[in-house]
Amino acid sequence: MGKRIVLLAVPPVDELDLVGPAEVFGTANRLRGGGPRPYTVEVVTTTSDRRIDGEHGLSLLAHRHYRDAGGRTDSVLVICGVGARTMRDRALFGWLKRAAATARRLGSVCVGGFLLAEAGILDGRRATVHWRYAREFADRYPRVAVDPRPTWVRDGNIYTSAGISAGIDLALAWVEEDLGAAAALKVARELVLFLRRPGGQDQVSVSLETQASHTKAMHELQVWMVEHLARPLSVDTLADRVAMSARNFARVFAREFGATPARYLVQLRVEAARRLLEQSDKTPTHVASASGFRSADVMRRAFLRALGTTPLRYRRHFRPPAARSPMRATARRDPLIAARRDIARATRVATSAHRRLTWASLTSRGRSPVSSDYRPP
């Protein structure tokens, strides 16, 4: 028996929220060939007749009621429709709390995060929901650090996602955790997914904004670039990939993607580095190398230009700790703005400290500062 994945559907649901993740785990099973299946997928629901109504006219039949889903569960994924944002079900919330304590992973798709928050599971944790409901989510649950940017967020063993196709991204992330990146990519390709998006990627990001490209060759090149970021990708290399001259390629690329090849490549590498900083303990040197930057210093300069902060500060602010204290009142309405404000404050403090040390060092040796207009802080 493979890892038991329980999909809890609270109807009515958006059909893709449920079927998408189920298809990911089913495809992972199918691609194992004759080997043991890595997953056993079970759909449970809150209705007595096990019927799961879809918001777009489809209906599905669950395996059983959630209270009858006994036995050991590896992972639980909560799927519900927008109407469930206001539901109050003590029995269901108690079941979710037990799942959070006993399952290896507990996740939610789209507004499923509201159920986890209502059950108190997300208190003191970082979480996300679909951007359309992020403000409501933050207002209703001030003890949750709501980040409206990522496609999905992990804090400990709790995962929340932005919904719709982001539920597929989260399922692929679980496959990657269990079977490795190569297996997850193989599943994504089998499902003809355009891009396997990392959790750190913005719900609206460079990769999504440029998917309007109309040229098949450029579509394929974009995917190939994402999969080969660690390689030196010069304009000549990319042009050869699509059988164009370097000059014509640069012109076509700028028209399709709205940026030069070099600029777009840096954006992709920054996104890849953000994911590694958020989800791994790799050193800046390793992160830079894996993301395709020539050195950690080059990556640092790219982060400063793109995000206004350094990789290390980004990791400190956006990588979820093991435990999260309640948010300050000033940060409750928009945690992302508050986090950016903290980054700016840390930068000012570091700059001020550096200036004080420089002044003290120079004056202690009886020397004057090099610049006549230099003043101590």
Task: Please list, in sequence order, all residues whose beta carbon lies within 8 angstroms of the beta carbon of residue 96, skipping any fewer than 6 positions away.
Answer: 76, 78, 106, 115, 116, 119, 121
* Pairing relationship of beta strands 59-61 and 51-53 according to DSSP bridges: antiparallel
CA distance linking residue 123 with residue 360, whole number of Å: 45
Each residue's pLDDT tens digit, 305-325: 888 889 998 887 766 543 333
Beta partners for residue 161, in sequence order: 152
CA distance linking residue 289 with residue 230, whole number of Å: 7
Distance, CA of 335 to chain centre: 16
What does pTM read for this prediction? 0.58
Per the CB < 8 A criterion, the answer to whether 162 and 151 are in contact is yes
E-strand stretches of 156-306: 158-161
Place of tokens 């958020």: 278
Each residue's pLDDT tens digit, 196-212: 555 555 554 444 444 44
- Going from the first residue of the chain to its last (377 residues), give the mean pLDDT of each consecutive group of 10, the final group possibly shorter: 92 93 95 87 96 93 94 94 90 96 96 95 94 92 90 92 87 92 85 62 48 64 86 92 91 86 91 85 92 93 88 77 36 43 45 42 43 36
What does the pLDDT read at residue 255? 85
